[in-house]
Amino acid sequence: MSLRPYRDITKKKTKEISVGEVKIGGSNPITVQSMTNTLTTNISATIKQIEDLANEGADLVRVSCPDESSTKALKEISKHSKVPLIADIHFHYKRALEAADNGAKCLRINPGNIGNKEKLKEVIKSAKYNGCSIRIGVNAGSLEQDILEKYKEPCPEALVDSALRNIKLIEDNNFDQIKISVKSSDVFLSVAAYRLLSKKTDYPLHLGITESGSFVPGSVKSSIGLGVLLLEGIGDTLRVSLSDDPVKEIKVGNEILKSLNLRSRGVKIISCPSCARQGFDVIETVKKLEDKLSHIKTPITLSIIGCVVNGPGEAAYTDVGVTGGGNNSHMLYINGSQFKKIATSDLIDKVVSLIEKQDIELKAKSQIK
């Protein structure tokens, strides 16, 4: 038992698969991914967006392949990507064959529109030959017609029925490099479907609340839905789907994992909402620090609290802390202990300097180990 058992999450052990060099499932960290929204045929723009996503912390990036021109462009795009690419395939199975030949490391197929068993068999054959994994992407908005007729509407059992049917089809072709998603725009439906699917299969699960909306409502819906599942130990990879810049999806996804201690990457800032007691402008300070510390990838905790009500208590458990005081004099903490007093004008530069110093020291220690 850990020191704080109330923080423990017992993750379900799933089968390990590979998406290029990235391992999904098993005992591997939960990965975060997004999807480009550029025209795939605009090769330079797509490469640039993939680079932006990778720099923000994306482990995988999905690219839409709606036509032959897009799958042809994928060949050049994949040469320039630092992360494995997933080809998003709908309606035409030949796009999957082309994408596998042109550098995709995973094929995302939708059982509701990929075609008949013979076409699926061709996709599996190509995936085997090219070393691709396959994501079975079940979506409440595009279920197979016979399943809709059976259940009358999208429901957890319908989504899982579709997933299990297609798992069997793929397994019957001696292929097991599979991950699965059962997505809906409804949080309740998504959570119930993933819970049910998790009980019925050991394949890794890709979590997501699809079509969740713009930045604020989409981030909230995703945090609730994904957070519930992750707390229960369900999920091996995730995407936060937003009607916004895809880079924001990676930011939110990583923050969800950081908040649950499932992944540590970059500076984790604990900050107060601010009130009349604040000794400095907390909101502006946090905004500037987020920007100036965005290059730090080492896990470091930082507390920025505007007054002494909770400031010392929060600083006691962070690597670096600031507590606001009166008369333009604030207390700076290092590893829970008071370090020195600083003026508002020096606060941001001093905090950045200390965080960067800790970053260097922690990297040096990890190399020694």
Q: Which of 348, 361, 245, 225 is nearest to 292 (CA)?
A: 348
Q: Give a yes or no: residue 3 inside a domain.
A: no
Domain boundary at 227, 259, 291, which? 259
> Does residue 273 sit in the same domain as residue 222?
no
Which pLDDT belongs to residue 217?
97
pLDDT in tens, the chain (369 residues): 578 899 999 999 999 999 999 999 999 999 999 999 999 999 999 999 999 999 999 999 999 999 999 999 999 999 999 999 999 998 899 999 999 999 999 999 876 677 788 898 999 999 999 999 999 999 999 899 999 999 999 999 999 999 999 999 999 999 999 999 999 999 999 999 999 999 999 999 999 999 999 999 999 999 999 999 999 999 999 999 999 999 999 999 999 999 999 988 899 999 999 999 999 999 999 999 999 999 999 999 999 999 999 999 999 999 999 999 999 999 999 999 999 999 999 999 999 999 999 999 999 887 765
What pLDDT is stored for residue 289 in this prediction?
A: 98
Cα separation, 298 vs 280, in Å, equals 27
**pLDDT at residue 112, as a whole number:** 66
CATH number for position 23: 3.20.20.20
d(CA 365, CA 53): 28
Distance of alpha carbon 35 from alpha carbon 64, whole angstroms: 8
253 and 300 together in one domain: no
In a domain, 230, yes or no: yes
Select from 198, 231, 259 the last residue of a domain: 259
Domain range holding 345?
A: 267-368
Of 228, 259, 290, the residue at which a domain comes to its end is 259
Query: Does residue 301 sit in the same domain as residue 243?
Result: no
d(CA 183, CA 225) in angstroms, rounded, equals: 11
What pLDDT score does 264 carry? 85
In this structure, the answer to whether residues 210 and 183 fall within a common structural domain is: yes
- How many structural domains does the chain have? 2
User: Both 292 and 218 in a single domain?
Assistant: no
**Domain at 313, CATH number:** 3.30.413.10
User: pTM to 2 decimals?
Assistant: 0.93
Q: Are residues 247 and 279 in the same domain?
A: no
Residues 253, 353, single domain; the answer is no
- Residue 7 is assigned to a structural domain of this protein: no
Q: Indicate if 240 and 292 belong to the same structural domain.
A: no
On whether residue 5 sits in a domain, the answer given is: no
Tell me, yes or no, whether 63 lies in a domain: yes
The answer to whether residue 171 is domain-embedded is yes
Residues 154 and 245 in one domain: yes
How confident is the model at residue 114, as a pLDDT?
Answer: 77
Same domain, 272 and 210: no
Both 112 and 186 in one domain: the answer is yes
Are 184 and 154 in contact by the 8 Å Cβ rule? The answer is yes
CB 84 within 8 A of CB 106: yes
* pLDDT of res. 3: 80
User: In this predicted structure, what is the pLDDT of residue 111?
Assistant: 65
Distance between CA atoms of residues 32 and 209, nearest Å: 14
Verify that 86 and 202 share a domain, yes or no. yes
Is 1 within the bounds of a domain?
A: no
Is 229 part of a structural domain of the chain? yes
